[in-house]
Amino acid sequence: HAQGVVEGSKFDFTEVKAGVDADHHVAQGYDADVLLRWGDKIFADAPEFDPANQSEAAQERQFGYNNDFVGFIALDDADDHGLLVVNHEYTNEHLMFPGIIKVTDGDISIAEATEDRVNIEMAAHGGSVVEIRKVDGKWQPVLEGKQNRRITAKTEMEIAGPAAGHARMQTNADPSGTKVLGTINNCAGGVTPWGTYIMAEENFHGYFIGELPADHREAANYERVGVPGGSYDWGKFHDRFDLSKEPNEPNRFGWIVEVDVNDPNSTPKKRTALGRFKHEGAESAVAKDGRVVFYLGDDERFDYVYKFVTTGTYNPDDRAANMDLLDDGILYVARFDEDGSVTWLPLVQGEGPLTAENGFESQADVLIETRRAADLLEATPMDRPEDIQPNADTGRAYVMLTNNTKREEANAANPRVDNAFGHIIEIVEDNEDIAATKGTWEILVQCGDPSIAEVGATFSTETTEDGWFGMPDNCAIDSDGRLWVSTDGNSPSKTGRTDGLWAMDTEGAARGTSRLFYRVPIGAELCGPCPTADMSTFFVAVQHPADGGEDWEEFGRPSYYEDLSTRWPDFDDAMPVRPSVVAITKQGGGKIG
């Protein structure tokens, strides 16, 4: 037994020391190798990254910014050759563009955007599909890969499913209501059982500016989702992000996007049947009867947990037969009751309060205003639902609830007021059937430092001072059914540690025991944990390194391109800090964990 192994644990590795520094760290006996960095070529003919002279055209041929979801789609059933699919959630201008930071009397601000800068930002959003292969034990991108692709905030997409073509989806540029340019703020995602890539549109509200025309019908709809958020200047150069010019455009974001990775020219489809909200991810599994179930978090304080069950069944022998499964099914929202039961409430037009009198004249209306429909069904407001991972073998699903410092009233499923550190709920679906409409639930763990009584953390007593974490965000279940959790928000001031990847026991005597496997450089969060089927590789996404938040005074000014807390992963003064995907393998080969 390795040092520190816990009785009954399914994990057997020596834990990393929690802490804070400029580098990343993996458990002893493992290698963590940077595989793809922002700006890396993903086509043989792409230009080399030149950070001081970045252009839209170059960025469209290079790996995008802020890698979040990572999926691995094996080619030829191999564990050493496949397509890596990666979301590029958002851009951090202060870390990307030299010379745009202004300091006036100690106040830091960013120079107003130019059109060129906006177009680079748009090209750095979206996703990448990159063929990768393991050569002599190390992964490398295959730049000649026939399926390699960049998807950006300008890629043409089809709007599919019940809301396609609806009047509320139509714009001046697209009177058909079926064609939209781009996808934005793709946080987590998924890979379907039939091998397509799912990109979830999360904080889409931030990209819009301007005012709706007076008495516009979308006013309440947009208020519920925070449109216009005004975090980006895109609307100054692209009318569709300005509400006064294209008032319906925000209805065309906030969806689940499906990409057929087999054809790099395929048109990605926004699958409206899965609802419109701040989608964190869409992890799926095949239910016992062959229907496919997608678990969906809506990441906002007091928003909801959803799942989508396809009407059709998965055909493992005919990929083409599955390609439109996501256009037809039932979207449910969860009510977590005090008695430990969960009921999945169908969001179906005409049922219960989802009537024309309440403004839902069609299923398109229900889907465009998913949150308002769920409000009327009295779903349970949660502490920011992030990634949710189902395990079809056990009929369980793990819900990451990242935090909610605005909660003043607790309920059974969100038991802490001022919930700074988040918690994880384990759902047990009835009859171990993930398509069930009822189940039970338990809190797997309340996060935070167990040595501070007021925090109310509930990690097992075997969890070490390195093993606890706050703010669970993404998760993965490996082929042995073991849960891995990555975090967003640990920092020197909040938890005395950076974010990382934690191994979490869910069964037997070790249930609730967590151990630190990998940690990120200062300022980063960790996204996209993705194990290969044979568990020989764990891909992880280090997002926004050096974006130090409230710790900048102590650990270096995050907003200075010239004076960062870390220059990971290149540690080269000529290079900016770069979000990157890392491949973790065991030295000498073998199964991780």
Residues lying near ligand FEO in the complex (CB under 6 A): 89, 187, 202, 280, 299, 386, 473
Residue 337 CB, shortest distance to ligand FEO, in Å, is: 25
Instruction: With contacts defined by CB under 5 A, name the span among 37-45, 179-187, 223-231, 316-324 that binds Ca ion.
Output: 179-187
In the complex with ligand FEO, the residue whose CB is nearer, 485 or 510, is 485
CA 470 – CA 496 distance, rounded (Å): 11
Q: Does 249 bind Ca ion (CB under 5 A)?
A: no
Phi first, then psi: give them for residue 259, nearest 5 degrees: -120, 125
Please give the Cα distance from 501 to 487 (Å, whole number).
7
- Whichever of 298 and 387 has its CB closer to Ca ion, that residue is 387
Q: What contacts 367, CB < 8 A, 6 or more positions away?
A: 161, 162, 163, 272, 273, 275, 276, 331, 347
Question: 547 is in the binding site of which of Ca ion, ligand FEO, none (Cβ under 5 to 8 A by kind)?
Answer: none
Residue number with the smallest Cβ distance to Ca ion: 488
Query: Residue 219 has what DSSP assignment?
Result: H
H or E element that contains 373: helix 370-376
Which of ligand FEO, Ca ion, none sits in contact with 327, Cβ below 5 to 8 A by type?
Answer: none
Encoding tokens for residue 98? 């030299």
Interacting span for Ca ion (CB under 5 A) from 157-165, 203-211, 331-339, 485-493: 485-493
CB of 188 to ligand FEO, least distance (A): 7
CB of 486 to ligand FEO, least distance (A): 11
| Shortest separation between residue 93's beta carbon and ligand FEO, angstroms | 17
Q: Measured from the CB of residue 52, what is the shortest distance to Ca ion in angstroms?
A: 30
DSSP-derived secondary structure letter, 408: -
In the list Ca ion, ligand FEO, none, the entry touching 60 (Cβ below 5 to 8 angstroms by class) is none
We find the least distance from the C-beta atom of residue 527 to ligand FEO, in angstroms, to be: 8
CB 70 to Ca ion: min, Å: 9
Shortest distance, position 106 Cβ to Ca ion, whole Å:
29
Q: For ligand FEO, which is the closer residue by CB, 178 or 389?
A: 389
Contact set for Ca ion, span 331-390 (CB under 5 A): 387
Of 90 and 518, the one with the shorter C-beta distance to ligand FEO is: 90
Q: Which residue number, 69 or 72, has a Cβ lying nearer to ligand FEO?
A: 69
Whether the CB-CB separation of 301 and 384 falls below 8 Å is answered with yes
Q: Which of 300, 473, 505, 547 binds Ca ion (CB under 5 A)?
A: 473
The binder of 202, among ligand FEO, Ca ion, none, by C-beta within 5 to 8 A per type, is ligand FEO
C-beta closer to ligand FEO: residue 187 or 368 = 187
Q: How far is the CB of 89 from ligand FEO (least distance, A)?
A: 6
Nearer to ligand FEO, 487 or 532 (CB): 487
Q: In whole angstroms, what is the distance from residue 156 CA to residue 445 CA?
A: 42
Nearer to ligand FEO, 399 or 592 (CB): 399
**Gap between the Cα atoms of 79 and 76, Å rounded:** 9
Q: Which residues pair with 331 in a beta bridge?
A: 308
Residue found under tokens 């167990």:
450
Segments of 240-357 assigned E as strands: 256-259, 269-271, 283-286, 291-297, 301-303, 305-313, 329-336, 341-346
Query: In the chain, what's the furthest Cα-to-Cα distance?
Result: 69
How far is the C-alpha of 491 from the C-alpha of 400, rounded, in Å? 19
- Total residues contacting Ca ion (rule CB under 5 A)? 5
Identity of the residue, 383 or 449, whose beta carbon is nearer to ligand FEO in the bound complex: 383
List, as one string, the DSSP characters of 434-502: TT-SEEEEEEEEE-S-TTSGGG-----TT--TTT--S-EEEEEE-TTS-EEEEES---HHHHSS--EEE
Signed CA dihedral, 474, 97, 571, 135: sign only: positive
Structure tokens at 323: 């390609």
Beta-carbon neighbour count of residue 518 at 10 Å?
Answer: 25
d(Cα 515, Cα 420) in Å, to the nearest integer?
20
| Minimum gap (Å) between residue 387 Cβ and Ca ion | 4
Site track for Ca ion across 286-325, x = CB under 5 A: ----------------------------------------
* Binder among 120, 124, 187, 510 for Ca ion (CB under 5 A): 187
Pick 131 or 386: Cβ nearer ligand FEO: 386
| Cα gap 59→52, rounded to integer Å | 13
Binding site for Ca ion (CB under 5 A): 187, 387, 473-474, 488
